[in-house]
Amino acid sequence: MSHGELMEEGKRQMRVCNACRYCEGFCAVWRAIEWRRDYRDADLAYFANLCHDCKECVFACPFAPPHEFGINPPRLFAALRQASYRKYVWPGPFARVFQGGWGFMWAVIGACILFSVISLVTQGRVFGAEGGSFYTVLSEAVLEAVFGALALWLVCGWGLGAWRFWRDIRTLDSSAVQVRDILQAVRYALSLRHLGGTKDEPLSRWRKWFHHGVFYGFLLDFASTCLAAYESHILHKQAPYPVASPVVLLGIIGGVGLLVGCAGLLYVKLGVNRDTVDEGAYQSGRAFLWSMLLVAGSGLLLLLLRKTSVMGPVLVIHLSFVAALFFTAPYSKFGHFIYRCLALVRYAEEERMHRLSGH
Amino acid sequence: MTASVACDVLVVGGGNAAMAAALSACDHGASVIVIERAPQFYRGGNSRHTRDFRIMHEKPTEHMLATYSPGEFLDDLRRVAGGEMDEGLARLVVERSEALPAWLSQQGVRWQEPLAGTLHLARTNMFMLGGGRAMMNAYYRTAEKKRIAIWYDAMLEDIDIAGNVFGSAQVRKNGEVVRIRACAVVFAAGGYEANISWLRQHWGDAADNFIIRGTAYNQGNTIDLLLSAGAEPVGHPQAFHAVAVDGRAPKFDGGIVTRLDSVPFGIVVNQRGERFYDEGEDFWPKRYAIWGGLIARQPGQVAYSIIDSKVVDKFMPSVFPPIVASSVADLAIRLGLDASRVQQTVDTYNAAVQPGTFRPGDLDDCRTVGVEPCKSHWAQRIDTPPFYAYPLRAGITFTYRGVRIGPDARVQLAGGGAMENAFAAGEMVAGNVLRRGYLAGFGLTMGAVVGRIAGEGAARVAR
């Protein structure tokens, strides 16, 4: 289906939904639909990113396929989310070449070669000394340069995508966003308020908890990395740190959260009704979960083997996974939180305005 | 040789009343088989298109505002009944309705918050979260958990009734014939509105132009079998509940989305380009139900709602886009009507519109003088292009013809007395309380109340 056809199909389905409104108690999307009579392309992008894919609606819908109206909001919104990532991400051409599982694997291979070459050139050996510090494999300066550049790439990519999306989903009559709208959106996001799940897909009700595992696990690992940087640069304490240190403990807890969360979400995906998913979105979600799983798994493996002779190769592999994750981040499923959070801010603002006007 | 199975209670049908009966029979110790004629996706008959129960309550509840007394509920029923109502059965349904929300919640049905909702009926009606199909999913989940056997694509072909005792049923399941012997049976298989050839018997060729809002599986074969077996009929065979729906709606199963709310905001003309009824008689929810019958009696069973751009955003959006034109004559041509006749109708109407203050939320003072039929409220000139039109047809919601039951839900016999072990509920007994007219949410309420009584009664007989 072309972009234009997808937009027309989206508007057709939204007109049926707005004439029905039986789903209005389910989630934020239905209220946002009811607040409008006509739908722009950007409204569809807004609804799609507001949708958390819990699927309550499609199992409640009397007009879902095989009915001739063919109403299938989870599949529609998943396809529209993919379309919105394609439309708003920067850099667009990369997104087309490096998407999905293969894109990630090419990035891993590239990073692996890069790190090996750098190691060979700067240290004289590919995998450093046995049982030694990580910096005998790749020096601190190299790591800072590579990951600093990747962080800049990621922030620019996400930032530009966010700006384009936000500009599009606002309309002339949108009111100004207030701090409380942002706070409300943060509450919705941190609690995954709209990720309910449905009894018609028994495992789907676990998604919220697995997602919490991934998200908070990632935050803990990020905190661990920041703390390590602080210890290294400010306190001049060199890695590796003892297992009982906050850096390692945060890393372990976060890594386990990521492992359980990603594995759980992958398991849930196996059981979904494929009629309710968009194949492209399904594959891209799966690729992202695998990439996170590989990052977390290799990180924990590194911790386990850091005193052994294979530390060098394991470190290079782990760093390659991390680098590939960051490199693909602007256009992989990783960036979905940006669009979802912005949609939640827009929703919080609309919700407040409609409460004021008594609707 | 025909395969044969046995159970305590056989339930024929798979909608709200049938599942209420099945679960209630199961809870009273019976082994239950449910036969649903439709495939799994279309299970639940017309219940999958419903959205609310009308519930009596003497104090505010978690899901309902203020109070709705039995007296007020009965008055509301009498108002729509047109003088013909079974008071005893009506009172029973009203009184038992109070206990329904708790029982339905136990079956897994969830509810919308009382202040939310498009229809603003939070005092009298309770809305299922997600509507009828979500409710049916909950019913079936609970039934499966309780090990009630559910047969889809299973149609009742024949019943074996000796005197006033049901013995067995012949069922065609996925093409195979199976005989089910049961100690008791509950019939809850809906009306016959989807049986066009039956409708033709009473409406002639007009039946071909009706739209059936609900399931295509309500063929009335169960009613037919029961009447042939000596059950006492109830309800006039020509009587149905019909509303105005968009003329472009699918023949079956268009459900709620094909309904149109534009009528009070403009005029309605028939194929001859003439108005035929007061479009502003009363609030649309109260008048909504008469328009199906009105259109069914127009030539070609079709009509056209015509409005102008002043009011186009005053009603619920509809699923099909309106037909648009820059002049009334152009609009008429697009509708395939006589342009000069429609122009004349609009001119005559416009000339009759009196000055007033347009207030869509009240019975306002905008009316016509000197035109037949008059328009009593919300009459504004149709003069601001672009002009819009929606084709209208009669959309049949349900039929009233069925079998008579007693207060214990037992099927009554034409020759006097009642069936020993056969009960009925749902749309096929709708005519027992109301012969005509309808009160929003009453169908589900009566279905669940009578279904529960029937299921419990059947389980007691089976014991």
Instruction: With respect to residue B222, please indicate whether it lies within any of the assigned structural domains.
Output: no
Whether residues B322 and B413 share a domain: the answer is no
Q: Which of B116, B134, B317 sits opposite A60 (nearest CB)?
A: B134
A63:B255 CB<8 A: yes
A62:B129 CB<8 A: no
Q: What CATH number did the domain enclosing B40 receive? A: 3.50.50.60
Q: Which of A19, A34, A60 sits opposite B130 (nearest CB)?
A: A60
Q: Which residues contact A71 (CB under 8 A, 6 or more apart)?
A: A13, A16, A17, A58, A61, A63, A64, A65
What is the C-alpha R_g of chain A?
22
The residue of B47, B48, B152, B257 whose CB has the most chain A CBs within 10 angstroms, and thus the best one to mutate to test that interface, is: B257
CB A29 within 8 A of CB A102: no
Whether residues B153 and B35 share a domain: the answer is yes
The two tokens of residue B233 are: 């009929």
Instruction: With respect to residue B95, please indicate whether it lies within any of the assigned structural domains.
Output: yes
Whether residues B189 and B265 share a domain: the answer is no
Whether residues B146 and B283 share a domain: the answer is no
CA distance B437 to A9: 38
Whether residues B248 and B348 share a domain: the answer is yes
Whether residues B374 and B423 share a domain: the answer is no
Q: What CATH number did the domain enclosing B281 receive? A: 3.90.700.10
CB B387 within 8 A of CB B308: yes
Q: Of B366, B395, B424, which marks where a domain is finished?
A: B395
Instruction: With respect to residue B229, please indicate whether it lies within any of the assigned structural domains.
Output: no
Instruction: With respect to residue B204, please indicate whether it lies within any of the assigned structural domains.
Output: no
The two tokens of residue B242 are: 């019909």
pLDDT attached to residue A359: 52
Query: What 3 state SS string does A198-257 have?
Result: CCCCHHHHHHHHHHHHHHHHHHHHHHHHHHHHHHHHCCCCCCCCCCCCHHHHHHHHHHHH
Q: Of B379, B395, B411, which marks where a domain is finished?
A: B395
CB B185 within 8 A of CB B423: yes
Q: Which of B108, B129, B313 sits opposite A37 (nearest CB)?
A: B313
Residues of A contacting chain B (CB within 8 angstroms): 15-16, 18-26, 34, 37, 56-57, 59-64, 66-69, 199-200
State the smallest CA–CA distance between residue A37 and chain B in angstroms.
7
Whether residues B428 and B375 share a domain: the answer is no
Whether residues B262 and B344 share a domain: the answer is yes
Full DSSP string of A3-30: HHHHHHHHHHHHHHHHHH-TTTTT-HHH
The two tokens of residue A311 are: 């530390």
A23:B108 CB<8 A: no
pLDDT attached to residue B116: 58
DSSP state of A175: P
A60:B48 CB<8 A: no
Place of tokens 């052994």: A308
What angle do helix axes A41-50 and A3-20 make, rounded to 10 degrees?
Answer: 70
Which residues does chain B have within 8 Å of residue A16's beta carbon, measured at their own beta carbons?
257, 319
The two tokens of residue B5 are: 């199975």
Instruction: With respect to residue B165, please indicate whether it lies within any of the assigned structural domains.
Output: yes
Band of the pLDDT at A279, cuts 50, 70, 90? very high
Total domain count for chain B?
A: 2
Whether residues B383 and B413 share a domain: the answer is no
CA distance B231 to B411: 7
A23:B112 CB<8 A: no
The β-bridge relationship of strands B176-187 and B418-424 is: parallel
Output the CA–CA distances (angstroms, integers) from residue B183 to B8, B37, B228, B456, in the order listed. Answer: 5, 21, 21, 13
Alpha helix stretches (DSSP H) within B28-171: 70-81, 87-97, 100-106, 131-145
Q: Which residues contact B84 (CB under 8 A, 6 or more apart)?
A: B434, B435, B436
Band of the pLDDT at A236, cuts 50, 70, 90? confident
Output the CA–CA distances (angstroms, integers) from residue B261 to A239, B228, B268, B325, in the order listed. Answer: 71, 41, 12, 20
Mean pLDDT for chain A overall: 91
pLDDT digits (tens, 9 = 90+) for A35-93: 998 899 999 999 999 999 999 999 999 999 999 999 999 999 999 999 998 899 888 77
B133:A61 CB<8 A: yes
Q: Which of A25, A67, A69 sits opposite B113 (nearest CB)?
A: A25
Residues of B contacting chain A (CB within 8 angstroms): 41, 48-49, 51, 108, 112-113, 116-118, 127, 129-134, 137-138, 141, 250, 253, 255-259, 313, 316-319, 321
- The beta strand positions in B290-378, using DSSP E, are 302-308, 323-325
- Residue closest to A278 by CA, chosen among A221, A356, A333, A211: A333
Q: Which domain holds residue B355?
A: 242-395
Whether residues B385 and B411 share a domain: the answer is no
The two tokens of residue B202 are: 């009473």
CA distance A54 to A46: 17
Whether residues B309 and B388 share a domain: the answer is yes
Which residues does chain B have within 8 Å of residue A24's beta carbon, measured at their own beta carbons?
112, 116-118
A22:B131 CB<8 A: yes
Report helix, strand and coil shares of chain A as percent, to nearest 5: 75, 0, 25
Q: Which of B41, B130, B313 sits opposite A66 (nearest CB)?
A: B41
DSSP state of B47: G
Residues in chain A: 359
pLDDT digits (tens, 9 = 90+) for A287-340: 999 999 999 999 999 999 988 888 889 999 999 999 999 999 988 899 999 999
Instruction: With respect to residue B216, please indicate whether it lies within any of the assigned structural domains.
Output: no
φ/ψ of B388, rounded to 5, equals -125, 150
φ/ψ of B346, rounded to 5, equals -65, -45
Please give the torsion angle defined by the CA atoms of residues B259, B265, B270 and B273, in that order, rounded to the nearest 10 degrees.
-150
B132:A62 CB<8 A: yes
- Residue closest to A232 by CA, chosen among A347, A122, A101, A135: A135
Instruction: With respect to residue B205, please indicate whether it lies within any of the assigned structural domains.
Output: no
* pLDDT reading at A272 higher than 60: yes
CB A254 within 8 A of CB A221: yes
pLDDT attached to residue B269: 98
B316:A16 CB<8 A: no
Coil/strand/helix, residue A164: helix
Whether residues B331 and B354 share a domain: the answer is yes
Taking CA atoms, what residue in A is nearest to B112? A25
pLDDT digits (tens, 9 = 90+) for A118-137: 988 887 777 766 656 788 88
The β-bridge relationship of strands B176-187 and B32-35 is: unpaired
Instruction: With respect to residue B225, please indicate whether it lies within any of the assigned structural domains.
Output: no
φ/ψ of B275, rounded to 5, equals -75, 155
pLDDT average per 10 residues of sequence, chain B (463 residues): 91 98 98 98 96 95 90 94 90 97 97 70 91 97 98 97 95 95 98 93 92 95 96 92 93 92 94 96 79 93 97 87 96 97 97 94 93 95 96 94 96 96 97 89 97 98 91
Q: Of B395, B416, B433, which marks where a domain is finished?
A: B395
A19:B257 CB<8 A: yes
The two tokens of residue A340 are: 């979802």
φ/ψ of A150, rounded to 5, equals -65, -40
Q: Which helix (H) or strand (E) holds A96?
A: helix A92-97
Which residues does chain B have within 8 Å of residue A19's beta carbon, measured at their own beta carbons?
256-259, 316-319
